[in-house]
Chains A and B, each alone.
Chain A
């Protein structure tokens, strides 16, 4: 009896261990990069490398970062539901709230949609979506999809890290400034404003120098001819009349970064997100 009990316990433990392995396998078997278009967007080696990269980032962040490429030619609203549904059905997401996000690219329509779920709604705010959108646009419009996907993944991981610390990227509310690469140094506008400043300063300088050339003015007073000591105030009255109070509202710190806009997908789960065209 002791032997069988021992065996049974060992078997049980083995099964458990195997089960946990298979569980781990299960997650690593999920493809985070899927492409169902006719002509694959990326080369096989690139697709594999991307998949591994996404897996690494997702595990590190405890947050699923997934990408799906198709060519259905959907309009924006349908694309949104497609993304939500694909995410839900594919079983993406960590934990009870299915924390993660998906980037769906519609090659036919030339558009994409980012859908967020669970903790994704907190980590990727509307501002975050805008940020991701401009990043994706800058890559997709050049046709650099692989780089775009990598940048997307990196950025999402950053957002999740920030949210984990308690300060999700939420535009001006976090005091975050966009990185130099995103908003280009608008040399034209800066040059224009510099010219205006220069013109004003130039005019002031010349005007002042010109003023030195004039010395003839009318004299409207006779202050120099007051008999010294002759001024004598014999009376006066200070009468209070009325008062009024003006109130000006203080500028409120307009927290325009207000979290994320969310909606419900067909599965009933709440999703956030946004999209763009290239």
Chain B
């Protein structure tokens, strides 16, 4: 039985018909005309979209602890938020870095993975305090009381567990691009838009894409203090932990993969989009990526943390212990917000009125 081939119009989705006069495919619904060869090329590209993402990771991060390596390290647990902290017995840790509540020593530190790498603290406590004070400067709508009322000495240095992902990516991305040209005659302004199906194939590599392995550390906070420079990383030794707290990972590598995959895919699409030149607009339509040589590592990254409570709300600040970048949302002084609105708004309204009056008179 004869089959009816149907090709969809890339503009409106209607069924295209071959027009003998122009020897092109025409859409009876939107009047678009497409070359036969162009359409078959487009069709091929669409078929390639069928390829699904393949993301296979080797999951062998972390090693077993050696004998004697965990002596003197204790696990503390916070009854309030459930966070588990590892610290030397001598560190005398008493408050949870996440929620400021007292923590209790749980027992000896056994059973979990030993990190592969660690980036030691480069910024010390004084630098962290200075950075915090600078963070508060220049913020006009910050309540004055907040500035005065902070227990800055309670800033803590914590090593946060991260899963790091390396991989090679084979990618194929399809974009829709347009070129526009405009002209006018005595009656009308014309805009001609030409549509293109653009595809790019290639490969790209990623190293040490970090995903926060601690549930207690908010992901967006950790993402905001990125990037970390892995070139400062060294093989892990417990000695580096001295004087600092370390967090146990509570999210395992498999669960973190989804987050890593999403970021890698997005960056790949962006990277290839940069190679599409000469168009007035480009947008991603579909992409398929295949990950190979995926490797996972377990590392501890340094973070200075400060928790403050203000007006019943908790505010957490984090500083990248390697680069010094500090982030943290600050409260808004509602009164100052509206005072500023009134002042600036009032001046603007007066100016607008004066300008209008002047224009009328002149």
Contact = CB atoms under 8 A, between A and B. Distances in A.
B202 interface: yes
Interface string B6-35: 000011000000000000000000111111
A216 B139 CA distance: 15
B196 A212 contact: no
Given A197-B348, A227-B205, A237 B263 contact: no
B251 to A, nearest CB: 16
Nearest to A213: B330
Contact of A209 (B218, B270, B327, B340): B340
B65 to A, nearest CB: 28
Interface stretch (A61-69, A148-156, A159-167, A240-248): A240-248
Given A206-B341, A206-B344, A236 B34 contact: no
Nearest to A245: B192
Contacts of A234: 201-203
A225 interface: yes
A222 B261 CA distance: 10
A208 to B, nearest CB: 10
Contact of B177 (A217, A218, A221, A238): A238
Interface stretch (A9-17, A188-196, A257-265): A188-196
A241 B266 CA distance: 26
Interface residues of B, number: 91
Interface stretch (B73-81, B110-118, B124-132, B181-189): B181-189
A223 interface: yes
A250 B117 CA distance: 67
Given A202-B345, A225-B209, A213 B198 contact: no
Given A240-B196, A245-B192, A222 B349 contact: no
Contacts of A205: 340-341, 344-345
B39 to A, nearest CB: 8
A96 interface: no
A227 B347 CA distance: 52
B41 to A, nearest CB: 5
B187 A212 contact: no
A233 interface: yes
A238 B197 CA distance: 6
Contact of A230 (B30, B33, B205, B344): B205
B340 A206 contact: yes
B141 A206 contact: yes
B320 interface: no
Contacts of B341: 202-203, 205-206
A95 B141 CA distance: 79
B206 interface: yes
B91 interface: no
A195 B168 CA distance: 58
B350 interface: yes
B221 A216 contact: yes
Given A206-B337, A241-B10, A244-B32, A195 B206 contact: no
B329 interface: yes
A233 B273 CA distance: 11
A219 B202 contact: no
B45 interface: yes
Nearest to A204: B344
Contacts of B206: 222, 225-227
B300 interface: no
B42 A239 contact: yes
A89 interface: no
Interface in B200-240: 200-210, 218-221, 223-224, 226-227
Interface stretch (B52-60, B98-106, B352-360): B352-360
Contact of B329 (A213, A223, A227, A245): A213
B337 A190 contact: no
A5 interface: no
Given A206-B141, A218-B223, A226 B267 contact: yes
Given A206-B340, A213-B332, A214-B329, A250 B189 contact: yes
A232 interface: yes
B203 A230 contact: yes
Contacts of A199: 345, 349
B141 A195 contact: no
B5 interface: no
A243 B264 contact: no
Given A202-B345, A232-B204, A190 B271 contact: no
A25 interface: no
B195 interface: yes
A27 B211 CA distance: 103
Contacts of A230: 168, 203-205
Contact of B262 (A220, A224, A231, A249): A220
B196 to A, nearest CB: 6
8 contacts: A206-B337, A209-B340, A227-B206, A230-B205, A237-B199, A240-B194, A242-B194, A243-B194
Considering the complex of A and B, which 6 residue pairs feature the smallest CB-CB distances, nearest first?
A202-B345, A198-B349, A230-B205, A227-B205, A201-B348, A219-B223
Given A201-B348, A206-B337, A244-B11, 9 more contacts: A193-B356, A209-B141, A214-B329, A221-B266, A231-B202, A235-B199, A237-B41, A237-B198, A240-B195
